[in-house]
Structure 1
Amino acid sequence: MITALLNGQVLFDREIESELVVLIENGIIIAITDADDKRVQSAQQHDLGGRYLLPGFIDCQVNGGGGVLFNDAPNVDALRRIATTHRRFGTTGLLPTLISDDSAVMRAAIDATDAAIAQGVPGILGIHLEGPYLSPERKGVHNPAKFHAPDSSDIDLVCSLQNGRTLLTLAPERVAPEVLHELVARGVIVAAGHTAADYAQTRAALDAGVRGFTHLFNAMTPLGSREPGVVGAALEDKNSWCGLIVDGHHVHPATLRIAIAAKAKGKMFLVTDAMPPVGSDDPVFYLDGVAITCRDGICATAQGTLAGSALDMATAVRNTVGMLGIPLAEAARMASTYPAEFLGLQQSHGRIAAGCRADLVVLNDDLSVHETWIAGVR
């Protein structure tokens, strides 16, 4: 049975257009057409009531949600709860993110991700391993006792996911170039983050296959007048992608506007770095025994160290429009099209186009989420 989504404002190609009808069959978008199409008349019609119809949001950095931290519960049930929670905020695809941990926890997290994808848990696209190959100088809230340089067994572990995408955040100055080459050759998407690298080291890592930067500006060397640092290398490079946390706390809005203007178009995407309080009434969680409290949208330790965020993707889109002055069409692409391209999923995800999965989000005029569709299921 064909489903017709009509009477919406549809993000199609580069702009938002009205009077388009999206036809879905078997979880796939089969056509973008108009109301005169004969297939529309015989389809099961779903009236969007003039709301925005956008590609479903894709979040490459989700530590938790719904009161669950992935590190504490690396199992399928936890992934289902995290994905279900974030779906309420328009996220139809995500990478559950494991903060630096022991190899046994990494193994469990990878196995759980494989199992979740094999079982068809909606929204799980792979895994993001944030560490443990990071710099103690830029550790953030990560436990430096977990940090080490990867050996051959670590490489095999990181490369062991059978289903979906693997994203690995590492400090490139702590990983040999030949290891970077091997990881990339074996299909791992490598991002630089929590790094004290200088510009030259970052440039060499990009040449070795580093594809992106994890939460740009946070936990990395800044742009300076004589030493461009990681941030300078990231903004200069035309081929890499950068994740941005647009919550008004991690990075000043003016800094974000400058960065977006400097970076090649289509290479900035939104992430949440979400923690368990997202979608939960409990503001407190623990990371390696350290209490983290969420107040006024800020997740931090008692000493004030930021520990992820309480951000969801719908709020990130609203902030990108409201704080940064980015048009909704571009903000929506930053939450869907660009992360799909970063993950190499552009042929199937992140666009409203024939042949793509029917992963969609419907927003009200105030940009709150009205409904989500994953593989054509509402």
Structure 2
Amino acid sequence: MDKINVLLIVTVISIFISLILSFFLLTVKTKYKASNILFAVFLILSAADVSEPLFNLIVEGPSNLGMLRTTLAFLQIPVFYLYVMSVCYYDFMLKPRYLLHLLPFLIVNIVLFPRFYTVDAASKIDFIINRQQMVELQFVHILFHIQFVVYFIAVFMLLKKTKKLYLENHAGTHINSYNWLFQFTIVLTVLYSIALLKNIFKFSDYPYISEWIKFGILVLQPFIVCWYLFKALNNPDLFRNVDSQLQLVAEIILEERNQEQLITHGEKYNEELLKLKRYMIEEKPFLNPSLTIQDISENIQIPTRELSVLINHQLGQHFYDFVNTYRIESAMEILKDVTKSKVTILEILYEVGFNSKSSFNTAFKKHTGNTPTYYRNNL
């Protein structure tokens, strides 16, 4: 089987998987409709991007439709960015202002309009053959490089901020679902970096290297989509617990300093801290696996902003770690109790407020330096 046939088979498989998953995302009933729509659009755009071998069998030579298909790449990264936003923030909504993300795609097609879209077939062929001298194509590739860098920096900054907001305001144990979204972003970053390298070789004296890189990308594409599907099915809750209106504690502190509102005396903080610790010991709110800082704020009647500053700034702990400390202490008491030696580790972690074995083991080892099993066996 030659390279062209392999390429066609892989392309068909990749497109088929992407379209089936897109159909599922668009038709499944869920309250996270915006996320599903955005990821389905991303998959469809990706399918269009890798469809070149199949497209070339149907359409012979350079065409307006072929060029339009190529420029759809300028929509992939913005759509992925919006998808990440929709996953991170539960209150995300598609808004008219997001249409601004279409600008690079529109600019590129406007630039190509005079000397490609409006000319005859012979001129189109000449345009592609002499692509190294065509300023329009040079502009297109430079703009794609810039877009790639800007958007992926924005995605990583968004993920970093959202994780911190989660840790400062939530004690749910779905934080591990952030990790796979981060991993997926890393994979896409590497994939797009390889694609950029392909484009560089395409305009060099070694265009055959570009063809081999393109072949490698096409072969990898179905595996990446399948990997993402596997991860998504194993992490149905995703991140989705952060309110986009929340502020980082560092921002609150800076704002209060600028407004000269920061409390300079520790007496009030000490009173609130005692009130908080008493509530945690007596009421055991940490047993709720989905506990948020807002829940505690309502019950002990300390404003959320003050409580956030108290825990995250004054105690120097994320709310997530603060709550997990009580969960681990409770688990340690159960592990020490000889009358409960038959209770399994899995039962204990659910009892103290965890709903993930990996989260429990990570938190337990962070707090004690040992695994739960080792701790129980070496008392």
TM-score higher than 0.5 here? no
Q: Which has the higher helix share?
A: 2
The structure having more radius of gyration, on CA atoms, is 2
Q: Which has the higher strand share?
A: 1
Q: What TM-score does the superposition give when structure 2 sets the normalisation length? A: 0.21
Q: What TM-score does the superposition give when structure 1 sets the normalisation length? A: 0.21
